[in-house]
Amino acid sequence: MPERIEKSLLLPKKYFWSGNIACAEGALQAGCRFYAGYPITPSSEIMEHMANRMPQLGGVFIQMEDEIGSICACIGASWSGVKAMTATSGPGLSLMLEGIGYALMTETPCVIVNCQRQGPATGQATRPGQGDMMQARWGAHGDYRIIALSPWSSQEMYDLIILAFNLSERFRVPVIFLADEVIAHLKEAVLVRPEFVIFDRYKDKEKPPFGEALIPPMPTFGEGAALLVTGSTHNEWGVRKVQDSLAHEKLNIRLINKIEANKKEIVKIEQYFVDDCEILIIAFGITARSAYQAVKMFREENKKVGLLRLVTIWPFPEEAIREAGDKSKKVLVCEMNQGQIFYEIKRVLGDKKEVLPLFKTCGEAIYPWEVMEKVNLLL
């Protein structure tokens, strides 16, 4: 897979950015040169920043009529050879899901940023939530695998969006970036390094763009390849085979295996004080920030509490969760929803481990004192 070192677009130093601005600048650094979107709180600053910056870098910005048009425009742009991104929130992601399913079936690299708010429906447009975790995994119909990342700082809004583009290009798959309103609007110091490792998709117009390789090459329209791109069942050259059961099974299994076979390369987690912990906290996004603060205060009191932070949400870090869970007596799952990751962790750990919840869906973040209060009941 082509890999190169890219110089920083900006003067390498620390900047004081909100998460949304850091996300936009990180996408540009990753090589994003097409943005299509529709304004929606709490992601709108990404769109506004892209509207300003894209013309400066020779890229294209389009405000679309809705989120359906946005994801479809990104798919078309990607097949024209550019890296493409859109940003939205829960209601917009709902509208994009048919297009995301098409991107999965056609193996189209693109990045979808979801700055989560409380739902369902319009919900609390300006309040934080983490209720789109399962929507990201299962929102499109059918069987597939997708990649989703969860940042916990403005720095990671910058760094992880670069990783999101690299993974998308590397595995020819849409990547969903599961931020939340707190991280989107949190202003922090963001360090921009002098150089970055950037992946670009592998092109070969002589080889089939949909097999036999686990991750086939992706030619660009207009460069001489005989391209057929369809969301229907197709063979390795893109020819429709909607009545061919073997063709569908072969395609579907490959779409799954290209992610499953590379989980060690994709999955990213962080651990704090896990090796000797009695209580293991599992959290992600802004909730992990609160949990980390609580863990540090417990450690000052010589109480054995640890944190496993999920950076990669999908594919699910099952192996890391089992290993960390085996080292603890009890597991506490903290999330701003009513148990979307909690039930996945219970599935992974089974009945041999007591797994307990700390949920919150009132439009407020989970605070460190709330984590401490819950843990003190378990110690």
Looking at residues 36-56, what average pLDDT do you find? 98
What pLDDT score does 198 carry?
97
Q: For residues 73 and 266, give the distance between their C-alpha atoms in angstroms, rounded to a whole number.
A: 27
Q: For residues 338 and 131, give the distance between their C-alpha atoms in angstroms, rounded to a whole number.
A: 8
- In which residue are the tokens 């992946």 written? 199
Q: How far is CA 375 from the centre of its chain?
A: 29
Cβ atoms < 10 Å from Cβ of 252: 15
CB 73 within 8 A of CB 36: yes
Query: Which residues neighbour 52 within 8 Å (Cβ) at sequence distance 6 or greater?
Result: none
Strands (E), the chain: 3-7, 14-18, 32-37, 60-63, 83-88, 110-118, 124-128, 147-149, 174-180, 187-191, 195-199, 269-272, 279-283, 305-310, 312-314, 330-335, 354-359
What pLDDT score does 40 carry?
98
φ/ψ of residue 81, rounded to 5: 110, 5
What pLDDT score does 23 carry?
98
Tell me the two tokens of residue 167.
């993974």
Nearest Cα residue to 105 out of 212, 233, 242: 233
Q: How confident is the model at residue 352 (pLDDT cuts 50, 70, 90)?
A: confident
Tell me the two tokens of residue 121.
């429906």
Residues 134-182: tens digit of each pLDDT = 999 999 999 999 999 999 999 999 999 999 999 999 999 999 999 999 9
pLDDT above 90 for 1: no
pLDDT above 80 for 7: yes
Residues 300-346: tens digit of each pLDDT = 999 999 999 999 999 999 999 999 999 999 999 999 999 999 999 99
What pLDDT score does 2 carry?
84
Tell me the two tokens of residue 198.
């950037």
**Rg of the chain over all Cα atoms, to the nearest angstrom:** 21
Looking at residues 192-204, what average pLDDT do you find? 96
Residues 218-260: tens digit of each pLDDT = 999 999 998 999 999 999 999 999 999 999 999 999 999 999 9
Percent of the chain with pLDDT over 90: 97
Domains of the chain listed by start with CATH number? 3-199 (3.40.50.970), 270-378 (3.40.50.920)
What pLDDT score does 379 carry?
86
What pLDDT score does 22 carry?
98
Strands (E), 89-220: 110-118, 124-128, 147-149, 174-180, 187-191, 195-199
Q: For residues 88 and 37, give the distance between their C-alpha atoms in angstroms, rounded to a whole number.
A: 8
Nearest Cα residue to 190 out of 4, 11, 6, 7: 11
CB 334 within 8 A of CB 290: yes
What pLDDT score does 72 carry?
98
Mean residue pLDDT across the chain: 97
What pLDDT score does 211 carry?
85
Q: How confident is the model at residue 54 (pLDDT cuts 50, 70, 90)?
A: very high
Its sign, for the CA torsion 339, 285, 125, 141, is: negative
pTM of the complete model: 0.97
Q: Establish whether the linkage from the previous residue to 42 is cis, with ω within 30° of 0.
A: yes
Least confident of 73-77, 88-92, 222-226, 241-245: 222-226
CB 349 within 8 A of CB 325: yes
Looking at residues 92-121, what average pLDDT do you find? 98
Tell me the two tokens of residue 130.
């983490």
Q: Establish whether the linkage from the previous residue to 2 is cis, with ω within 30° of 0.
A: no
